[in-house]
Structure 1
Amino acid sequence: MKKLGSMILAVVLLMTGLAGCNQGGGADHTEAVTLSPEATSAALQNGVHVELGEYVLDGDENLTVTKKSVEVSKSEGYKVESYDIKLGDLTELSDFITLRIPYDTTYCEEGQDPSKCVGAKYKNNATGEWEDVLFEVDSDRDEIIIYTDHLSTYGVFHVKNEGRRNAEITNIYADISDIDKKQAMETLREYVRGSGVDGEEAAGLAAMILTAHNGLMGGIAESVGEVGFGTDLAGTILNMASLGSPTFDTSLADSAYKKMNKLGKVAAAVKIGAIMLSTEKTDADTLGLYKDTAMLALSYAESAAWGLAASGLFIFDYTITSLFEQGLAMKMDQINEVYAFFNDEYVSKDRQGFEWTARSLKDWRQVLIDIAEANPNDADAKAAIEAEIERYARVFWTLSSGEMDVVVSEMKKSSKGSATIPNATEAEVKTMVGGYKAQLYERLYPVTQSVSVYMQRKAEAAYLAALNEVKAFFNQSITFNIVEDVPDGEKSQYDGYALRFAPLSENAVKESWRGTLKGAAGASTKFTLLGYVQAGCPKELQLFKPSDDPESDEPELTLGFKLSAPVTEVKLGGLPLEGLLGTYSATFTSEGETATYNFTFMYYEGQLVFMPEGKDFGTAFLLLPGPYKYDPSTATATCEAPSDALSFSTHVRFISEEGTVRFSSDNTVEDIKEGRTSTVYGEGIKTD
């Protein structure tokens, strides 16, 4: 059987409420079956298979599965086959259950892989919106396998073409199995080594996930037919997320970096967790790193959820498994029947004050989970579980003789055979407690395996949440305004000028990135951040005279800009030089390192310069001293210093927002002989 590819699908088209979706043929059809702790699975005639596992039900419950009428959108090229699944009055479950739902292999276009044209979602009953769920695709059986801890309506989504992508309608399914263990380990090592500080390994792993074949932007490579384009796109994403990027506003870049780091860290943790579950004995280095990762994640609010899941997996996959294996080796002597009946079956009906309910395996499972979540340190959890098992095993021996007689009476009523209460010494009690604990360890061993899987599922759910955060970030809408500062009584200088964003990638829909200025009203457009990235992250606006041809003529004016969210504004007419002169505090970034200096933009001996505070020669590699030429139409100061060996150039772009003047700069040094180029980016704010 082929290896199942673990996938998480995020279909952005579904976030629009399935606008334009038509109802297909067929009325709703319901099937029902009774499930119980002894009968935990059902295969229905409609092809749906439900498997609850051993730790969900306390008694009989009625399972109903209603196949809804098919929803089809021919214009968008997708359809939804949904099933409403109910289990008595239960909605939230104590464990993840498994749903197997068949999918249609004939819906996608000829030549497409049907297993890559399907995914799953559930309908949020409170909002009516479709949301993501954990699932796998079993291509051998043509089934979607869903893992969930809540019941709702589940939909199998079919698209015509696996490679179909654009900024508004996107399939996202990241496959953890594609992540290399070495990369995941390096990501976690960086995380632990930096005590939780964001790093390049996590951001790089997130970029790989987003630009992989099945990622948020993976279809771009397919659409342009370039094998290497995905790698370039990953570099673009990393560049976007780096502070000091010449294209993106600092706050936008900072937000991208944090969200991508969160995604990369949890993805790495989920990958290592999956390896631990699938490996009979995990090596000490992996276990130690995973434990350190979990403990560190727990110390930060933003990562506490997946940190708790990771610590739980470590506790049960390693520490508690070892504990229970030791327990299984204990000698199981003959256990008194009354004592065993009390621990495993007896429910108190005594009206004289004694209350007792023997724990089922389901009860014990929840006790173990509660202890692990309250004691994320493995040593503490081990001690707490040992103490709880010891306490539980000794309760019977604290009963009075009258209370023991009640247990015997109930045992006889239950036809459990003859029953006698031993008059045991403390040494005999200790022996019987040890024997019962050995028996309990044996019964609970499969429970610990179930909890390990449960904790991994919780970590996967945290990964899904992080992936959705990144998805929402890239699908945010940005308003881009182009305005001209026209003095009162004067006409627009750029009325009728054609404009276009540049440079654009080969796969950009170029018509979407062009327009015409209309007098003082300028121009305005909207696009998603994802669309902007897919278009190649253009960083300039080019303006052409009404009589010129943008395809062959040079632009009359080129304006640089930094993208900011939710609004980016570019002003035509520039800024007067007089308002820009003064002192700036500037922070520079190069290869992850930052430094802050003060510079004064001023005239010195008749030349326009940036004068550094102090006499540090190295500041020339951050911002050339001058002389500068200032272009008021673009609010840009430029200094160039070419030579045969080294060539220097600096561009400083000024903006004025609500009375505050800022600049962004790039200082490039080209080693002509070696053919190498390095650039330092800066951000400055006027302080006087």
Structure 2
Amino acid sequence: MNTSGINHKEADMNIFKKTAVRVVAIILVAATAITLTISFLLFQRDKLPSSDTAYVDFGCLLEEGDEVTVEKVTPAPVDKDVEIYAFDFRLSSGQPDGAIEIIIPYSDKGLKEEEELLSVCGKYLNQETNEWEDVFYTVDTEANKVHIITNHLSTYGVFKITNPGKRSEYISEVNVYAAYMTDSRARAIVQAFAEQSDSWQENAAAAFLETTDTLRYFAAANAHTFFSLGEAYDAWVTKPFQNFMSGLGVSTACAQLACNAYNNGFRSAETTFTAVKSSLDIAINFATPSIKLAYLSVGMIDLALSDVQTFAVANKYKSTKNMYDAYYKRKENSRALNDWRTLFESYYKKNKDNPQLVLDMMRAEIDRYVNEYWTVAGTDWESWIDAYEKNGKLSKYPWPVKKDRENISAIHKSQLYEYLNSVFRTMCRNMYLDSLIEREKEYNKLADFYNTKFSIIIQEDKDKGEKSTWAGCYARLAPLSSTADPSSWTGKLNSDGGGTITFTLRAHLKAGFPMTLELYRTSADIKSGKKLKSVTLKSFSENTQTVVLEPRKVNQTEETEPASSEDTDSSTPTSVPPVTKEPVKEANPWYDVTIVSLDNTNPKAFAGWYAVLEYPKDMHVELEDMLAMFDNTGKCILRFQKSDYEALESPSKIWLYQYKEDLLSKKKPDVIVSFSLSGSYSGKYSGEPLYTILVKAKPKGNKDDILNSISGDYSSYMIRAELFIPGEGMMQIDKKEDYEPWEKPSAEVWLHYNGPSLTLKSYSDPYLTEYVLEKFSDTRYEITYQNGTTTVTHTVEIISVGHRAKYTFLSETEGGQRNLSVYILEKK
């Protein structure tokens, strides 16, 4: 460690991110596939059963005349503890037009049954770099086969890692997590998401942590501590973290549902399938890309299993039915499986954000197709009879009444659904691959967020040129978890008495969220616990926080030891000073005051509000440091020490504000609640007693009724537009314009207040898409989602409840293009 600062560097977390394609679902599945008979040689020492071979399930993607080649290859070894089963897969026509499934067998010799799932993985050999890369795969330990989902043919293999200590080198641990995501757990997570209850995010994340056994990698004692980041960070950190965690849980659950739809949908128990569909029917109202994919996958199975009611064709219409069947056998009218697949996938590609529309379009096209004959032939029925049978009589080919026409079409439809099963399954496989890609995005978001860096800057309050009194002392963050390395969190202050502690969010989490800065004179004092000073850190409200140390007195004693006689005047060595005891340190306890609504029927009455201790009007106070925000469940915790309380002249009231601006501008509180400093002892915090106090505040009027007035139709007009397209010189566009009220009238908008969310819909949208915006406060609602490589954000800010609002649309591409539009909404 150098003297310029304290640096704590956490290695990049390969638990959550390694390469561009890193996330793998390891789910026990049984796949039915087309077996390609090939011959291959023995591989390694273990002989594979002769009946087992690698093969590819193309579904309905193979065109007539396509030839598939599967050849066993022997790649260069990567490790003596890794056995590789590799094959090269080729298609005569090039690459497949969609997702395929590659099945590669392996030998489980030398693997314990309970370890097999964690010791086998699928890999792809990059021909350009000659490096093995991760793929999306599942392991069937019963059949000893690895199933790889991809849309590209090349060289693929199975790695069997026989040394448990080397698994993490080849199998990212995050890939193992999804192995334990069951269908029932997935439905529970989606159900929690669909219900949008007060604690749905924590419930979904907790279920994910429990299912994937993730919590043991961190020092958090329980899911709540983990989810709240130990209350060491303000909402600007915890809120995105909670969004990423719950998003990861939901996307993993949806990937499992998409997997189940692909592998088992055509033979699932009706009750199980209905339960999944019911949950997704609700969840689609709060659609994320993962929810949409799962919804479409399950909806496709629902479509494939449609129960078509038919009855026997009446004798007099049998000839007519034969003529009907002949129409669809004509070359110009018949459709091959790939024709149907191409048509259905065009619906999907154009309408990915609206899965219900895709399903409706597919169902409508099938209905149109089976009824097409009646529309065409009905224009000149006698000519159609004559074309089918020269001089055919109308008595032999009567025009059926409506119910008989519908029955003949229904019979064809029933046969068509069965014929299209391979199309539906192929498309489900595409949905499954897309859902794995969406899940990977969620993993990457969380991985990036875990690697966010935070710093504590230590400075001594001294004049320039003045000698430092803290130089050479040691600083450490505490308390540390049992798994944390104390030396990584300890450093020596520089010659100016300063330094910087830098760490990642993940490192802080694994260390147990230490939030006390301890200062020691020597390294020996660290071991004996002789602290010079302890400083309780504030929750991080930005990436850095600064601790300013007052100059240390020369004879300052340690917190835990009496004054040393070595600091006496050396001019009187024979004089032994009297030994005095250190004064008894007066306790300076902490208090956690939890504020909730008095109205049990309206527990979230204060969600998004702010609280602050009463303070003398003529006193200068740092309100930003004193205030606390109510969370979305309507709960707030004010934490302070007795010394802080007494500095405010021992207040007996807490002031509540609906708007932060009103609090900071020292306006009259919206609600005032009384409290006393008597509470329940709850242990120690930073070495001092901790007491908890519960305060119930009466809501001001019926706030929910006021917010309900947000709902309704609004007229709108644009007030600002920005467009930025990066480029060289004249090719770059950077345009910004402001408009006067009603200079740029826009579409009518519908808003609906839902309590924990706000629904937004524009009547100019041909699909009338409803966006559900998350509630950040009573006046701010927002949703952010990915549309391909574009990040889209919708924000609504309430200017006057029930009258005016501001709507902001923002889209930003990975290439740097930015489009911003701001509108004023006025209620009609």
Q: Does the pair score TM above 0.5?
A: yes
Name 1:99's counterpart in structure 2: 102
**Counterpart residue number, 1:441:** 414
Equivalent position to 1:134, from 133, 136, 160: 136
Shift in alpha-carbon separation, 1:437–1:169, aligned structure 2, 3 A = closer
Q: What one-letter code is carried by the residue in structure 2 that aligns with 1:257? A: Q
Q: In the alignment, residue 97 of structure 1 is paired with which amino acid?
A: I
Q: Distance in 2 between matches of 1:294 and 1:145?
A: 29
Contact 1:483 1:520 survives alignment (8 Å):
no
1:520 matched to 2:499: no
Cα contact 2:459–2:499 (8 A) shared by 1:
no
The question of 1:308 aligning with 2:274 is answered no
| 1:480 partner amino acid | S
Residue 265 of structure 2 corresponds to residue 265 of structure 1: no
Q: Counterpart of 2:40?
A: 45
Deviation at 1:489, TM superposition (A): 0.9
CA spacing shift, 1:333–1:50, aligned 2, 3 Å? farther
User: What is the Cα deviation at residue 134 of structure 1?
Assistant: 3.2
Which residue of structure 1 lines up, in the alignment, with residue 117 of structure 2?
A: 115
* Distance in 2, Cα, partners of 1:260 & 1:565: 20
Task: Tell me the distance in 1 between the aligned counterparts of 2:131 and 2:550.
Answer: 46
2:103–2:146 CA contact under 8 A, matched in 1? yes
The answer on 1:87 being equivalent to 2:91 is yes
What CA distance in whole angstroms lies between the structure 2 residues aligned with 1:126 and 1:196? 50
CA distance in 1, matches of 2:681, 2:228: 26
Residue in structure 2 matched with residue 541 of structure 1 by the alignment: 517
Superposition map of 1:248-647 within 5 A: 248-270=233-255, 274=260, 277=265, 279-282=268-271, 286=275, 289-298=278-287, 303=288, 305-318=289-302, 320-324=304-308, 326=309, 333=318, 340=325, 343-344=328-329, 346=331, 356=332, 358-368=334-344, 376=356, 380=360, 384-394=364-374, 397=377, 424-427=397-400, 434-435=407-408, 438-445=411-418, 447-448=420-421, 451=424, 453-454=428-429, 457-458=432-433, 460-461=435-436, 464-465=439-440, 467-469=442-444, 471-473=446-448, 475-478=450-453, 480-485=455-460, 487-520=463-496, 522-524=498-500, 527-546=503-522, 548-561=524-537, 567-573=543-549, 581-584=621-624, 586-589=627-630, 592-594=633-635, 612-613=654-655, 618=673, 620=675
Task: Please identify, of 451-460 and 332-341, the stretch whose mean Cα deviation from structure 2 is larger.
Answer: 332-341
Offset of residue 254 of structure 1? 1.0
**Secondary structure in 1 matching 2:496:** helix
d(CA) in 2 for partners of 1:289, 1:588: 36
Alignment of 1:191-270 (within 5 A): 191-194=193-196, 199-210=201-212, 212=213, 215=214, 220=217, 233=220, 235=222, 238-242=224-228, 245-270=230-255
Q: 49, 65, 73: which one pairs with 1:60?
A: 65
SS at match of 1:54: coil
> 1: distance between equivalents of 2:404 and 2:343?
25
Of 45-54 and 327-336, deviating more is 327-336
Partner SS, residue 538 of structure 1: coil
Cα deviation per residue 1:511-559 (whole Å; 9 max; x = unaligned)?
3333322333844565543333233332233222125331222322333
Give the aligned residue type for 2:474: A
Give me the whole-angstrom Cα distance separating, in 2, the residues matched to 1:251 and 1:607. Answer: 28
> Partners in 2 of 1:131 and 1:145 — Cα distance?
15
Identity of aligned residues (%): 19
Q: Counterpart of 1:376 in 2: which secondary structure? A: helix
**Which whole-Å CA distance do the structure 2 matches of 1:620 and 1:398 have between them?**
83
Which digits, 9 at most, give the CA deviation of each residue in 1:231-272, with x for residues without a partner? Answer: x7472x5424338x5212422211110011112233444556
Partner residue, 2:76 = 70
Unaligned runs of 5+ in 1: 1-9, 19-37, 221-229, 347-355, 409-417, 625-640, 652-665, 672-688
Q: Distance in 1 between matches of 2:184 and 2:540?
A: 35
Offset from partner CA, 1:35-64 (integer Å, 9 cap, x none): xxx977455627762232431122233435
Offset at residue 113 of structure 1 (A): 2.4
In 2, the alpha carbon distance for the partners of 1:400 and 1:151 equals: 51
> 2: distance between equivalents of 1:154 and 1:450?
25
Counterpart-to-counterpart distance in 1, 2:60 and 2:322: 25
Contact 2:54–2:104 (Cα < 8 Å) also in 1: yes
Using the size of structure 2 for normalisation, the TM-score is: 0.55
Q: Does the alignment pair 1:147 with 2:142?
A: no
Distance verdict in 2 for CA 1:420–1:383, change over 3 Å:
farther
- Tell me the alpha carbon deviations over residues 270-289 of structure 1, each in whole angstroms, 9 at most, x when there is no partner: 55663883632126972563
TM-score, structure 1 normalization: 0.64
Question: Is the 1:122–1:132 Cα contact (8 Å) retained in structure 2?
Answer: yes
Letter in 2 for 1:311: Y
3-state SS in 1 of match to 2:628: strand
Q: For residues 34 and 671 of structure 2, what CA distance do their matches in structure 1 show?
A: 78
Is the CA contact 2:191–2:279 (under 8 Å) kept in the aligned structure 1? no
Q: 1:167-186, aligned counterparts within 5 Å? A: 170-174=172-176, 178-179=180-181, 184-186=186-188
How far does residue 431 in structure 1 lie from its aligned partner after superposition?
5.9
Contact 1:650 1:668 in 2 (8 A): no
Distance 1:151 1:667, change over 3 A: farther
* Alpha carbons 1:103, 1:156 under 8 Å: kept: yes
Describe the shift of the 1:542–1:189 C-alpha distance in structure 2 as closer, same or farther (beyond 3 A).
Answer: same
Query: 8 Å contact 1:476–1:529 — kept in the other structure?
Result: yes
Contact 2:310–2:407 (CA under 8 A) maintained in structure 1: no
| SS of alignment partner, residue 61 of structure 1 | coil
Cα offsets for 1:445-486 (capped at 9, x unmatched): 253476264376257426633552355246525253533245
Change (3 A) 1:464 1:155: farther
- The alignment covers a number of residue pairs equal to 563
What is the rounded CA distance, in whole Å, between the counterparts of 1:167 and 1:39 in structure 2? 33
Q: Could you tell me whether the CA contact under 8 Å between 2:21 and 2:135 is conserved in 1?
A: no
Residue deviations 1:547-576, cap 9 Å, x none?
53312223223333367699444434279x
Relative distance call for 1:582 and 1:511 in structure 2 (3 A) is closer
Amino acid at match of 1:282: T
- Of residues 692, 705, 727 in structure 2, which corresponds to 1:669? 692
Equivalence for 1:627:
none
Q: How big is the shift at 1:321?
A: 1.6
State the AA in 2 paired with 1:508.
A
Equivalent pair of 2:245/2:446 in contact (CA under 8 Å): no
Q: SS at the partner of 2:208? A: helix
SS in 2 for 1:556: strand
**Counterpart code for 1:376:** Q
1:361 to 1:525, Cα distance in 2 relative to 1, 3 A? same
* Partner Cα distance (2:504, 2:115) in 1: 29
- 1:266 touches 1:462 (CA, 8 Å); kept in 2? no
Q: What CA deviation, in whole Å up to 9, does each residue of 1:482-525 have, x standing for no partner? A: 33245311233332223333222222334333332233384456
- 1:54 and 1:419 mapped to 2: Cα distance? 42
**Structure 2 residues without counterparts, runs of 5 or longer:** 1-13, 23-32, 42-51, 552-617, 656-668, 695-828
